[in-house]
Structure 1
Amino acid sequence: MVPSTDRLRRLIADEIGECCEEDVEQRLDDLDSLAERATTDRLDRDRKTMAALGSETRHRIARLLVTADDALCVCELQPLVDVSESAISHALSDLVDAGLVSRDRRGKWRYYESTGRAERVFAALDAAGDDE
């Protein structure tokens, strides 16, 4: 099914005063080019990142790790986040899967720290908040 171009034709006519088939085709080509530039192979990763930050617990943990000077253990995060160690471990696993947190085993302890991706995401969120 080919989408109707009636509304697009009216938009172009409003913008330039009149519209011919060539104008519609040119606008459709421009829109196709836009769609190609906007579609990336990062789509799944980006969605995973946004979903990971959609939970208050995961968002809080990621923000703490971005702010921390050093890697932190679950037992250090637990007093800062009002959930069980099990819930923190689960949240950290999701954050690792999303590429926002890295995990390092030191003996019997696991330490977590933010990745450059997390730091850039929070920097962008902080900068966007300045526009309000």
Structure 2
Amino acid sequence: MSSENTAGNGEAARSERCCSVDHSLSNAEIAEDVETLATLGNDTRYEALRLIAEAEDGVCVCDLEPELGVSQGAVSQALSRLFTSGLVDRRKEGRWRYYSATPRAERLLRVLDETR
């Protein structure tokens, strides 16, 4: 059987499906979800978010570095990505920045805990 016939049969099978499937998400919502999941798909970012979410009044960058065991630059990059993804908020007090988990991040972590 040639590859032309195989491709043709596949197209025929797709057009003969008994029902259609769809979801209610827009392309923008899918892209946002994928970006969020990609952000959480890194050990340093995920662990940083866990540490931040467990803190009561925000976490200073200086406290995360020794806990995560990575360089200050790696912590800064992780926090930047978490902030850009809407998973952490930040506030500045003097020369220090404090990070706290957003409600969305807290819900995501809670769902992960519930499904474990």
Q: What TM-score, normalized by structure 1, do the two folds share?
A: 0.72
Secondary structure at 1:99 match in 2: coil
Q: Percent identity?
A: 38
Query: Which sections of structure 2, spanning at least 5 residues, go unmatched?
Result: 1-7
Secondary structure at 2:68 match in 1: coil
Q: Which amino acid aligns with 1:61?
A: A
Secondary structure at 1:62 match in 2: helix
Distance 1:61 1:74 in 2: 10
Q: Flag the structure with larger Rg.
A: 1
Secondary structure at 2:86 match in 1: coil
Counterparts of 1:31-110 in structure 2, within 5 Å, are 31=21, 34-35=22-23, 37-39=24-26, 41-110=28-97
Given candidates 12, 19, 23, the residue that maps to 1:4 is 12
Distance 2:101 2:52 in 1: 5
Distance 2:98 2:105 in 1: 16
| Alpha-carbon shift at residue 78 of structure 1 (Å) | 1.4
| Alpha-carbon shift at residue 66 of structure 1 (Å) | 1.0
Secondary structure at 1:69 match in 2: coil
| Alpha-carbon shift at residue 4 of structure 1 (Å) | 2.1
Q: Which has the higher contact order (CA 8 A, sep 6+)?
A: 2
- Assess, with a 3 A threshold, how the Cα gap between structure 1 residues 62 and 7 changes in structure 2: closer, same or farther: same
How many residue pairs match? The answer is: 108
| Alpha-carbon shift at residue 40 of structure 1 (Å) | 5.3
Q: What TM-score, normalized by structure 2, do the two folds share?
A: 0.81
* 2:102 is aligned with 1:115: yes
Distance 2:31 2:93 in 1: 31
Q: Which amino acid aligns with 1:90?
A: Q
Q: Deviations over 1:81-124 (max 9, x none)?
A: 10111110111001001111111111211111111111011011
